[in-house]
C-alpha cells in the first residue's frame, strides 16, 4: 500500500510541476516550514543536525522530496496531504533551495584547528 | 557598656526581664481599649488580630534556661565517623530531622571536611554530588529530611544510580514514635524511609545504635565505592543524633575503611577475547562508562593502538581522545565490524541494532546493524548490579563472551593477552590498517567542519556556531565541559579536541531532566579546587526544574560559565508529539506557539539572565545575533576567571 501511495504522490507532484498549476514561493515556504514543524528536526534554516539531515540547498528534485515526505519509512514521520498540501511542499522546497551557500570553512577562523 | 557576663555588676538577665515586663503593660492596655469602647465608637475591622498573652510572653520574655546535654552528643561521634572518610562537602537543604548532625557539622566540625553547601532543593544537593564525583572520583554526602526531602531527591538519586555514581544520602527520621516531638516530625516520620529509593540504590541501612551507625557508614562508603559504583542511603534517627553518647560499657570505635579491589575479568575469558580481537579483520571497541579514571583513557588508547582498531566512544564518560585517528562515530564502523568488544555499555542491544520509530500502525521497526557472523564480547560490571523493578538495561543482547567485571580493571590483562596473541603474520595485517584509519579520521573531521558552516550566521544562533564561539574563548585554559544537557547535535565531541578525562564528564545517566544545572555546579566546585575552568552548555528546560542551584553557586563562590542553549522548548518532546500527530494523520495543535501545546517554553519567554542576576550571577542576554556572542563570551570568561559564576542567555536553533 505504501508503494502505491508513493507512485500516486510522485505522479501528482510531477503533474503540478509540469502544468505550473501554482508558482512556488520561498517566502510562503518559510512560513510553511515553521507551521508544519519541519524546523523541529531540520533547524530553522534547514541546516540539519542530530535529528534530521540538511535540507538547505538540497540536491534532491522536488518530486523525490515530496515522495519522501509522503511515504517516509525512515526516522521521519510521514506527512499526508491532509497535513501538508502539495502547494505547501512546493513552497517549502523553494524555501530550502533558496538558502544561501554556506561560507567556505577556510574563511571561518573558529573552525580551524 | 557592659560585657555579656555582667562584670560591672549589672545582671543582664534581670535587665531583660524588667524591660520585658515594662513592655508588656502598655501592650495589654492597648489590647483592652477597643473592647471597652465597643458600642460607643463606629465599628471598624482591626488590621491584625491582637496578640495573645502567650504570644506576647513568647516575643518579649527571655527564653527559659535550657537543660544542657551531658557528655558528647551522638551527632558529634557521627561526624567523627564521616571525617575519617575524607568527604569534602555536604550539599544539603536544611531540615529538622538532621538538625543535630547539621549543628555538629558546622560547630563541632568547624564546617570543614565536610563543608556544608547550602542548597535550595534536595535534587540540587544530589545533583551537585553527582557532578562533583565525576571530576574527583570521590563521593559526597547529602543530608535530606527522611520523608519529603528524600522524595524531592529521588530523581537525582535515580540519575546517579544509572550513571554509576557513588554518593551517600543521609535521611533524618524520628523513628521512635513514643519520643517524637509534636508537629511535623510526628506527622511525617516513616517506618522505612529508604523504601522509596531501594530500587535505585546499591544498599541502605537504618542503624539503631551509634556503633551500628559507625559500621554502616563505613560499609556504605565501601559499597558505594566498589565498582560498579552507586548511591547508598543511611536513615539516621533524630534521637540517636541528639542524645548524648551512652557507651553501655563498650567503647565506641570507628572501623577503618579499606577499599575493595574491583572485579576483574576471568583469565580464560580474557584470553579468548584477545584471540578473537587479534584474529579479526575489522575489530571495533565500543566504550561507554569504561574509563573511570584518566588511566582508563591511557589503557584504552594502548589497546586500540595494539589492534589498530576503531574506537566508538558512546560518551557517558570521556573514554578516548576524539583527536586520535582511531576515534570513530558508531555509524562509520559498526556495520562492517567482525568482532565488537563492548566496555561498560549501558545498551549493547542498541549498539548493534537499529530501531526506527516509524513502522506500520505506529510500531517501531528493528533492524540488525551487524552481520550475522559478527562476534560480540562484553565486559560490564553492571552484570553484578541488577534490580527488578526500576530497570536500567535495554533489550537482551546475546554475546559470545560475557565478563561480569570492571572494564578498566580488566584492560591491563586484556592488553597483555592481546600482545601474547599477536603473531608476526597478524602484526603485519594490523599495521596495514594504520594509513587507512588516519585517512578516514581526517575525512570525518572535514565533513563535520563543512556541516558546521551551514546556518553559521543564522539567528537564532546555530548550535555549531554556539559551540565554536565557546571553544574559541576557552581553548587556552585548562577547561572542563561539565555538562551539555541540551542536545547540541554533538558539536563539542565532533569539533572540540577532547583529549583529557576531565574535558567531558558525560550525561545524566537516567535521562532525568534537571541534572545539568546542579551537576554543573558540583563539577565546577570540584574544578575550582583543582584550578580548572568549568563551562556548561545549559538547556532551558533543564534549568527550570530547580533553578535555585544558581544561588548556591553564587553563595559558595563557584566559578562556572553557563552558556544557555535556549531553544525555548522541551525539544525532544516537541518532536515526539509531532511524530504522534503525523502517525495519526491530524494536524498538531500549536496553540499559538511554534510547536505542539505543552512542549514549548515561550509566550512569555523566560529571561534567564535576569533570573541568574537575581541570584548573584553576572549575566547577559538574550543574545540572538551570532556576531554578539563572541564579545559576550569574552566578558563572561573574564568574570568566571575572577572567581564568579556567569551566565549567557543565548537563543539557539533547536538542535
Q: What is the pLDDT of residues B389-432, one digit of tens each?
A: 998 888 899 999 999 999 999 999 999 999 999 999 999 999 99
Grid cell for residue B174: 524520628
Weakest mean pLDDT among B30-39, B404-413, B466-475, B577-586: B30-39
Q: What is the CA radius of gyration of chain A?
A: 15
**With b meaning 16 or more CB within 10 Å and e meaning fewer, what string describes B209-219?**
ebbebbbbbbb
Give me the mean pLDDT over the B560-582 stretch: 94
- A58-69: average pLDDT: 94
Substitution target in B442, B583, B655 with the highest count of A β-carbons within 10 Å is: B655
Sorted by sequence, the CB contacts under 8 Å of residue B96 that are 6+ apart come out as B145, B172, B184, B185, B238
Domains B74-242 and B267-443 share a fold: yes
pLDDT at A13: 40
Helix axes B210-224, B74-84, angle to 10 degrees: 30
* Residue/partner pairs of B383-386 with CB below 8 Å, 24 or more apart: B384/B228, B384/B263, B385/B202, B385/B228, B385/B230
Choose, out of A1, A2, A30, A45, the residue to mutate when testing the contact with B (most B CBs < 10 Å). Answer: A45
How do B353-356 and B365-368 pair as beta strands?
antiparallel
List the 575-604 stretch of B: residues with Cβ below 8 A of A. 575, 578-579, 582-583, 585-588, 590, 594-596
Q: How far off is chain B from A16, nearest CA to CA, in Å?
A: 23
Among the partner residues A50, A56, A73, nearest to B489 by beta-carbon distance: A50
Q: In this predicted structure, what is the pLDDT of residue A22?
A: 59
C-alpha cell at B86: 575524607
A69 in a domain, yes or no? Answer: yes
Closest chain B C-alpha to A18 CA, distance in angstroms: 28
Note whether residue A108 is domain-resident: no
Confidence of residue A1 (pLDDT cuts 50, 70, 90): very low
* Rounded mean pLDDT, B83-103: 97
What are the b/e assignments for B160-186, b being 16+ CB within 10 Å? bbbbbbbbbbbbbbbbeeeebeeebbe
- Whether B497 sits inside 8 A of A104 (CB atoms) is no
Which chain A residues are within 8 Å of B366, Cβ to Cβ? none
Q: Do B460 and A110 touch (CB under 8 A)?
A: no
Q: Which residue has the higher pLDDT, B10 or B578?
A: B578
Q: Residue A85 sits in a domain of what CATH number?
A: 1.10.760
CA distance B18 to B347: 74
Please report, rounded to a whole number, the percentage of residues in chain B having pLDDT higher than 90: 82
Residues B595, B569: contact at Cβ < 8 Å? yes
pLDDT classification of B188: cutoffs 50, 70, 90: confident
Task: Find the closest chain B residue to A34 by CA distance.
Answer: B594
CATH pick for B453-568+605-651 out of 3.10.105.10, 3.40.50.970, 3.40.50.2300, 3.40.1350.10: 3.40.50.970
Mean pLDDT of B372-376: 97
Residue B359: what pLDDT? 73
Rounded to the nearest angstrom, the minimum Cα separation between A85 and chain B is 12
B74-242: CATH superfamily: Thiamin diphosphate (ThDP)-binding fold, Pyr/PP domains (3.40.50.970)
Among partner residues B460, B472, B654, which is closest to A40 by beta-carbon distance? B654
| Interface contact B357, partner A, CB < 8 A | yes
The full set of domain ranges for chain B reads: 12-60, 74-242, 267-443, 453-568+605-651
- Chain A residues contacting B, CB < 8 Å? 34-35, 37, 39-41, 43-45, 47-51, 54, 56, 72-80, 82-83, 102-105, 108, 110-111, 113
Would the pLDDT of B25 be above 70? no
Nearest CB to B574; choose among A40, A50, A79: A40
Check CB contact under 8 Å for A103 and B588: no
pLDDT value for B205: 98
Q: Give the pLDDT band of residue B50 (cuts 50, 70, 90).
A: confident
Cα B167 to Cα B334: distance, rounded to the nearest angstrom = 35
A58 inside domain: yes
| Nearest-neighbour CA in chain A from B362: distance (Å) | 10
Give the chain B residue nearest A52 (alpha carbons). Answer: B655
pLDDT tens string B164-179: 999 999 999 999 888 8
Whether B11 has a pLDDT exceeding 90, the answer reads: no
Q: Tell me, what's the pLDDT at B356?
A: 85
Give the HSE-up count for residue B355: Cα atoms under 13 Å, Cβ half-sphere: 10
Other Cβ atoms closer than 10 A to B54: 8
Q: Which of B68, B77, B66 lies closest to B109 in space, CA to CA?
A: B77
Residue B30: pLDDT over 50? no
B329 contacts chain A (CB < 8 A): no
Inspect the interface and report whether the beta carbons of A41 and B487 lie closer than 8 Å: no
Task: Please tell me the distance from the alpha carbon of residue B488 to that of residue B490, in angstroms, as a whole number.
Answer: 5
Residue A83 is predicted with a pLDDT of 96
pLDDT at A11 (0 to 100): 37
Rounded to an integer, the average pLDDT of B106-112 is 98
Q: Which residue of B has its CA nearest to A83?
A: B587
A50 and B590 within 8 Å at the Cβ level: the answer is no
Which residue in chain A is spatially nearest to B467 when comparing CA positions?
A: A110
Question: Closest to B587 (Cβ–Cβ): which among A56, A83, A113?
Answer: A83
Q: Which residue, among B560, B559, B593, B558, has the nearest Cα to B574 in the 3D structure?
A: B593
Q: Do B497 and A113 touch (CB under 8 A)?
A: yes
In this prediction, residue B404 carries a pLDDT of: 98
On chain B, the residues whose CB falls within 8 A of the CB of A102 are 450, 453-456
Query: A77 contacts in B (CB within 8 Å)?
Result: 358, 578-579, 582-583
Which residue is closest to B458 within chain A, CA to CA?
A45
Q: Check residue B262 and give its pLDDT.
A: 97
| A43–B587 CB contact, under 8 Å | no
Please tell me the predicted confidence (pLDDT) of residue B184: 74
Chain B partners of A49 at a C-beta cutoff of 8 Å? 463, 489, 653-655
Nearest chain A Cα distance for residue B317, angstroms: 20
pLDDT of residue B393: 82
Q: What digits encode the pLDDT tens for the residues A27-39? A: 999 999 999 999 9
Into how many domains does chain A fold? 1
Residue B90's pLDDT is 98
H or E segment to which residue B420 belongs: helix B407-421
Confidence of residue B189 (pLDDT cuts 50, 70, 90): confident
Q: For residue B366, what pLDDT is reported?
A: 85
pLDDT digits (tens, 9 = 90+) for B428-480: 999 999 999 999 999 999 999 999 999 999 999 999 999 999 999 999 999 99
Cβ pair A40:B578 closer than 8 A: yes
Q: Is residue A106 part of a domain?
A: no
Q: How far apart are CA B188 and CA B148, in angstroms?
A: 8
Domain that holds residue A73: 2-100
Going by pLDDT thresholds of 50, 70 and 90, the confidence category of residue B20 is very low
Residue A111: closest C-alpha in chain B:
B449
What tens digit of pLDDT does each residue of B266-301 get? 999 999 999 999 999 999 999 999 999 999 999 999
pLDDT at B364: 80
B458 vs A49: CB contact, 8 Å cut-off? Answer: no
Cα angle B298, B302, B303 (rounded to 5 degrees) comes to 120
Least reliable range by pLDDT among A71-80, B18-27, B366-375, B528-537:
B18-27
Give the gap in angstroms from C-alpha A7 to the nearest C-alpha of chain B. 18
Ranges of H-type helices in B308-360: 330-333, 348-352
Domain covering B267-443, topology: Rossmann fold (3.40.50)
**Residue, of B409 and A1, whose pLDDT is higher:** B409
Q: Which residue of A has its CA nearest to B599?
A: A40
For an interface test with A, the pick among B362, B449, B454 (most A C-beta atoms closer than 10 Å) comes out as: B454
**CB contacts < 8 Å between A and B, how many?**
113
Contact of B451 with chain A, judged by CB distance below 8 Å, is answered with yes
Nearest CA in chain B to A109: B472
Query: What average pLDDT score do residues B358-371 get?
Result: 81
- The least confident of B146-155, B165-174, B477-486, B566-575 is B477-486
Residue A107 lies in a domain: no
Is A111 within a domain? no
A83 Cβ partners below 8 Å, 6+ apart? A36, B582, B585, B586, B587
Q: How many C-beta atoms lie closer than 10 Å to residue B152's C-beta?
A: 18
Q: Mean pLDDT, to the nearest integer, of A92-100? A: 97
Instruction: Please report whether residue A71 resides in a domain.
Output: yes
- Say how far apart CA B395 and CA A49 lie, in whole Å: 27
What does the pLDDT average to over A29-58?
95
Q: From CA B55, how far away is CA B441, in angstroms rounded?
A: 76
Q: Is A60 part of a structural domain of the chain?
A: yes
Amino acid at each position: 500500500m505504501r508503494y502505491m501511495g508513493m507512485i500516486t504522490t510522485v505522479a501528482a507532484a510531477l503533474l503540478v510541476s509540469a502544468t505550473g498549476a501554482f508558482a512556488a514561493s520561498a517566502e510562503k515556504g518559510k512560513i510553511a516550514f515553521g507551521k508544519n514543524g519541519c524546523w523541529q528536526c531540520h533547524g530553522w534554516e534547514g541546516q540539519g543536525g542530530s535529528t534530521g539531515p540538511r535540507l538547505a540547498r538540497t540536491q534532491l528534485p522536488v518530486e523525490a522530496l515530496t515522495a519522501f515526505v509522503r511515504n517516509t519509512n525512515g526516522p521521519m514521520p510521514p506527512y499526508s496531504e491532509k497535513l501538508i498540501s502539495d502547494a505547501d511542499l512546493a513552497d517549502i522546497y523553494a524555501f530550502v533551495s533558496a538558502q544561501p551557500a554556506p561560507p567556505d570553512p577556510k574563511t571561518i577562523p573558529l573552525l580551524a584547528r | 557598656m557592659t560585657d555579656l557576663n555582667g562584670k560591672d555588676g549589672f545582671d543582664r538577665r534581670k535587665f531583660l526581664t524588667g524591660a520585658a515586663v515594662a513592655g508588656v503593660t502598655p501592650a495589654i492596655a492597648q489590647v483592652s481599649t477597643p473592647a471597652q469602647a465597643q458600642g460607643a465608637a463606629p465599628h471598624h475591622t482591626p488590621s491584625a488580630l491582637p496578640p495573645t498573652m502567650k504570644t506576647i510572653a513568647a516575643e518579649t520574655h527571655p527564653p527559659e534556661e535550657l537543660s544542657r546535654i551531658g557528655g558528647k552528643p551522638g551527632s558529634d561521634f557521627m561526624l567523627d565517623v564521616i571525617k575519617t572518610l575524607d568527604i569534602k562537602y555536604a550539599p544539603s537543604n536544611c531540615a529538622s530531622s538532621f538538625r543535630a548532625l547539621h549543628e555538629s557539622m558546622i560547630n563541632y566540625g568547624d564546617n570543614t571536611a565536610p563543608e556544608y553547601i547550602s542548597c535550595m532543593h534536595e535534587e540540587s544537593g544530589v545533583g551537585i554530588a553527582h557532578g562533583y564525583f565525576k571530576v574527583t572520583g570521590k563521593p559526597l554526602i547529602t543530608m535530606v529530611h527522611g520523608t519529603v526531602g528524600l522524595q524531592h531527591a529521588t530523581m537525582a538519586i535515580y540519575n546517579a544510580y544509572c550513571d554509576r555514581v557513588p554518593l551517600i544520602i543521609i535521611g533524618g527520621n524520628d523513628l521512635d514514635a513514643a519520643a517524637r516531638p509534636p508537629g511535623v516530625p510526628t506527622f511525617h516520620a516513616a517506618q522505612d524511609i529508604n523504601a522509596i529509593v531501594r530500587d535505585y540504590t546499591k544498599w541502605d541501612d537504618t542503624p539503631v545504635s551509634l556503633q551500628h551507625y559507625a559500621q554502616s557508614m563505613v560499609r556504605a562508603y565501601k559499597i558505594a565505592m566498589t565498582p560498579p559504583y552507586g548511591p547508598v542511603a543511611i536513615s539516621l534517627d533524630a534521637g540517636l543524633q541528639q542524645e548524648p553518647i551512652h557507651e553501655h560499657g563498650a567503647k565506641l570505635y570507628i572501623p577503618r575503611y579499606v577499599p575493595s579491589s574491583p572485579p576483574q575479568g576471568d583469565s580464560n575469558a580474557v584470553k579468548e577475547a584477545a584471540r578473537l580481537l587479534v584474529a579479526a579483520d575489522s575489530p571495533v571497541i565500543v566504550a561507554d562508562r569504561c574509563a573511570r579514571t584518566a588511566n582508563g583513557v591511557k589503557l584504552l588508547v594502548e589497546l586500540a593502538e595494539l589492534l589498530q582498531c576503531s574506537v566508538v566512544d558512546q560518551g557517558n564518560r570521556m573514554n578516548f581522545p576524539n583527536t586520535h585517528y582511531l576515534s570513530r562515530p558508531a555509524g562509520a564502523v559498526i556495520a562492517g565490524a567482525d568482532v565488537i568488544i563492548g566496555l561498560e555499555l549501558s545498551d549493547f542491544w542498541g549498539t548493534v541494532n537499529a530501531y526506527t520509530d516509524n513502522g506500520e500502525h505506529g510500531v517501531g521497526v528493528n533492524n540488525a546493524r551487524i552481520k550475522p557472523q559478527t562476534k560480540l564480547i562484553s565486559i560490564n560490571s553492571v552484570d553484578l548490579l541488577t534490580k527488578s523493578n526500576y530497570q536500567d538495561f535495554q533489550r537482551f543482547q546475546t554475546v559470545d563472551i560475557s565478563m561480569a567485571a570492571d572494564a578498566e580493571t580488566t584492560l591491563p590483562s586484556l592488553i597483555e593477552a592481546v600482545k601474547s596473541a599477536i603473531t608476526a603474520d597478524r602484526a603485519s595485517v594490523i599495521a596495514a590498517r594504520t594509513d587507512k584509519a588516519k585517512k578516514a579520521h581526517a575525512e570525518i573531521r572535514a565533513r563535520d567542519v563543512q556541516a558546521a558552516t551551514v546556518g553559521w550566521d543564522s539567528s537564532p544562533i546555530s548550535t555549531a556556531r554556539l559551540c565554536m564561539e565557546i571553544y574559541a574563548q576557552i581553548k587556552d585554559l585548562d577547561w572542563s565541559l561539565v555538562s551539555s544537557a541540551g542536545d547540541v547535535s554533538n558539536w563539542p565531541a565532533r569539533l572540540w579536541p577532547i583529549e583529557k578525562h576531565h574535558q567531558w564528564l558525560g550525561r545524566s545517566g537516567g535521562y532525568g531532566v534537571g541534572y545539568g544545572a546542579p551537576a554543573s555546579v558540583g563539577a565546577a566546585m570540584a574544578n575550582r579546587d583543582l584550578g580548572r575552568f568549568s563551562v556548561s552548555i545549559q538547556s532551558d528546560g533543564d534549568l527550570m526544574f530547580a533553578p535555585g542551584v544558581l544561588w548556591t553557586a553564587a553563595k559558595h563562590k563557584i566559578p562556572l560559565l553557563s552558556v544557555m542553549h535556549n531553544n525555548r522548548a522541551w525539544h525532544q518532546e516537541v518532536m515526539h508529539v509531532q511524530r504522534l500527530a503525523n502517525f495519526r494523520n491530524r494536524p498538531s495543535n500549536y496553540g499559538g506557539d511554534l510547536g505542539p501545546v505543552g512542549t514549548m517554553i515561550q509566550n512569555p519567554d523566560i529571561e534567564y539572565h535576569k533570573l541568574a542576576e537575581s541570584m548573584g550571577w553576572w549575566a547577559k542576554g538574550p543574545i540572538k545575533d551570532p556576531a554578539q556572542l563572541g564579545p559576550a563570551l569574552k566578558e563572561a570568561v573574564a568574570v568566571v576567571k575572577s572567581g564568579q559564576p556567569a551566565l549567557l542567555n543565548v537563543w539557539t536553533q533547536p538542535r
